Amino acid sequence: MFVKLVNGHIENAPVLLQDNEKTYSNPSTETLRAFGYKELVEEEMPEDDGKYYTSQYVENETTITKVWVEYTPEEESEPQE
């Protein structure tokens, strides 16, 4: 799957791309790369180890990788009486 990272979110590659001269229907991987789309690599979510994880996307030269990052949830404050 080819995607593009936009504001921290991924957009799937469309079935139709256009430039000033041509239309690309069901574009090839070469065309998708030329339009800035990269292959999506998804890491497996860590097994349940009692920790909290959130997903993030890391972009490099040719791929966009979905990684899982540990985080600490904010504790809810006790309601005051």
Partner 1 sequence: MSLRILNTVYLGKATPGTGGGSGGGSHNLGYYVDETALTTAHPTANAGDFAIVGSTDTIWIWDDDTSAWVDSDTKGQVESVNGRTGVVTGVQDSATISTVSAATLTQELANNTIYDCGELTALTITLPATINADWACQVNFTSGTTPTALTAPNTIKWKGDDLTSSVFVPVASKRYAVLFFYDGVNVRGIVQGIA
Q: Which is nearer to partner 1, 31 or 65 (by Cβ)?
A: 31
When binding is defined by CB under 8 A, the residue of 7, 26, 60, 80 that contacts partner 1 is 26
CB proximity list for 12: less than 8 A, separation 6 or greater: 1, 2, 3
Q: What is the Cα–Cα distance from 49 to 31, expressed in whole angstroms? A: 42
31 part of the interface to partner 1, by CB under 8 A:
yes
Q: Which is nearer to partner 1, 18 or 56 (by Cβ)?
A: 18
Q: By CB under 8 A, name the binding residues for partner 1.
A: 15-16, 18-28, 31
